[in-house]
Structure 1
Amino acid sequence: MNSIRVISILLSGFLYLLFQILVLKNLVLFGTAFCFLYVTYIILLPLDIKTIPVLLISFFLGIGVDLFYDTLGIHTAALLVIAFIRHRWLLVLVPTGGYEDDLQPSMLNMGLGWFLSYSVPLILIHHVLFFYIESLGTDLFLTSLQKVIASVIFVLVMSIIVQLLFYRRRRGI
């Protein structure tokens, strides 16, 4: 991987972090739907990035979000689980011809159906972990379940909008 690509990946992660803490921190729909768009950044990392670098990126991104949300590591824990599961989940969803090395698993490159089957379980796992760790020790099961479902839908819609606006389709596919 060349240095320009590494800088580009890290810069886009920094932009996701800034957007999350400056714009999306106070964006809550109907008191239940939270927009944790930074999860999309980990989901959309190129396929050729190995698990350890993805875990490191997730750790620093999660810590950055936790610092501004005052959540004591909850974002980091949930994001690290996603980073750990990501590679194995990609192996489950391998298309017939396999993956190209530096392909980004976006909706534009892989199609809407594949992207939904890839991203929805990962976003769901992240949100279940986040909201249930957040409400640990209390009897807020239904409230947490409502937040999980509303937030997954909100993040998925925002993820698709961000991909349509800012990502490009890879040529030759």
Structure 2
Amino acid sequence: MSGKKTTWVILAGLPGAGKSTLARALVAHAKKAGFSAAILDKDQVRAALFPGALTDYSREQDDLCMAAVYDAAAYLTRIGSAQIILLDGRTYRSQVQREAAIHAAEAAGARWRLVHVVCADEVAEARLAQQQSEHPARNRTPELYRAVKAQWEPIAEPHRVVEMTADKEEALLRMWQWLSALE
């Protein structure tokens, strides 16, 4: 990642798969390695724009929040303040959602990398049951996991798969090696 071009890392995966965990670890690793990195999280944006009872988890509200995320990422890309921008909080379950992120990155003049974060079903469902009261998205439940999984469209775009069931440190190291090798 020696060039100055910003890389947007699109984190796709079912709820509870470990996207946010991976994003936080990658940012910490990037900072230790002297890179500037940021996480732009749709769930945090939604909590700020539509707090409490104003949150409806509708497709329209999600799309408004993602537009804000993409605008912020484009701004950070334009001013060159982040070499790595991790897009978190959306599952990117559909090709349309993935294409929107890719188009936004390309329009901003950034490179993009698509990462499919996966884990065992029972692990994700246990995480969701445990984290429900802590996460800003209050709709994250095992039922949501199963519903999104049923609607998941295969990823046709070039991507990496990262397994976040067991050895998260190994997954982080493989991801960092892949990202840091970009030219």
Smaller-chain TM-score bracket: 0.3 to 0.5
Q: Which has the higher strand share?
A: 2
Q: Which has the higher helix share?
A: 1
Select the structure with the greater relative contact order (CA < 8 A; seq sep ≥ 6): 2
- State the TM-score, normalizing by the size of structure 2: 0.33
- State the TM-score, normalizing by the size of structure 1: 0.35
